[in-house]
Amino acid sequence: MRRGEGVTTRELEARLGVSRRLVAGLVAAGLVTPTRGGNGEYFFSFQDAVLIRTAGSLHRARVAPAQILRALRHLEQLKPDRHLAAVRIGACGGKVSARDRHGEWIVESGQRIMDFDVREDAPGRVTEFSQQKPTQGSADEALAQGRALEPFDVQRAEAAYRRAVALHPETLDAYLNLGCLLADQHRLDEAISLYETALALLPNEPELHFNLGVALEDTGAIQAALSAYERSIELAPGDADAHYNAARLHHELGHMQKAIRHFNQYRKLDTAR
């Protein structure tokens, strides 16, 4: 690396473990803007290197490369006055999420993960629900509180999500948010147990099967994870990400024909999005 010029592609590969193909995709999409050295090699700024590292982390979290590029382009359009390196970007259940001082959301769908009306300097108080009648309305309030608290107080957010489930055991978003929260803390066995409990009540929710697959895969239970992805696909055949994950695992297990079939379906669905 030459002082003042930045980081080369080769150095990014060595230091961050990112693939040259992923870096090339970010360059082609205009998401990073390297300069050219005397020999034609790319030199990336610190901010570009931070974004490339984030893209590499998303890829290792099993987010499809095309989805990474699409989500980052969408974020760039939403925040043209800020470099994407300044936005906190993560993955939850195979989806790209983003968080800044205004809150957190799923990038492609725009689904809010927290209450954007809650200020960072005033996270609010948790309402006691012990004397309330268990209704969907009170469960929704607990869910909203969990979303609002999660950026500031993970323990209280977890308690709020669990309260939502206790008040109304079929509150899907409470299971999904709580499962992601547990997985983010590497409490994978707890996340798996939670998803299995949820599926006993909500067996036909494809997102639960998908998230269960992600958690199982992270524990190394490849065959069980594949079964969860396949069930998710049965319930939601148009979910490109489930096809992508199933293709990866079939390939890893040596099921080449099935891997090709799922990957072709992923490409077809991803192109249509």
pLDDT (tens digit per residue) in 23-78: 888 998 889 999 988 777 888 887 788 888 888 888 888 788 888 888 888 888 87
Give ranges for CATH 1.25.40.10 in the chain: 129-203, 210-273
Q: Edge-to-edge strands of the sheet including 7-8? A: 7-8, 42-44, 35-36
Is pLDDT of 100 > 60?
no
What whole-number distance in Å separates Cα of residue 20 and Cα of residue 24? 6
* 113 closest CA partner among 152, 67, 150, 68: 150
d(CA 81, CA 63): 26
pLDDT at 18: 83
- Does CATH number 3.30.200.20 belong to domain 210-273? no
Under CATH, what is the fold of the domain 129-203?
Answer: 1.25.40
Find the mean pLDDT for residues 220-241: 94
Q: Flag whether pLDDT at 85 surpasses 80.
A: no
Distance CA 138, CA 168 (A): 8
CA distance 27 to 50: 14
Q: Measured at the alpha carbon of residue 20, what is the angle toward residues 272 and 105, in degrees to the nearest 5?
A: 50
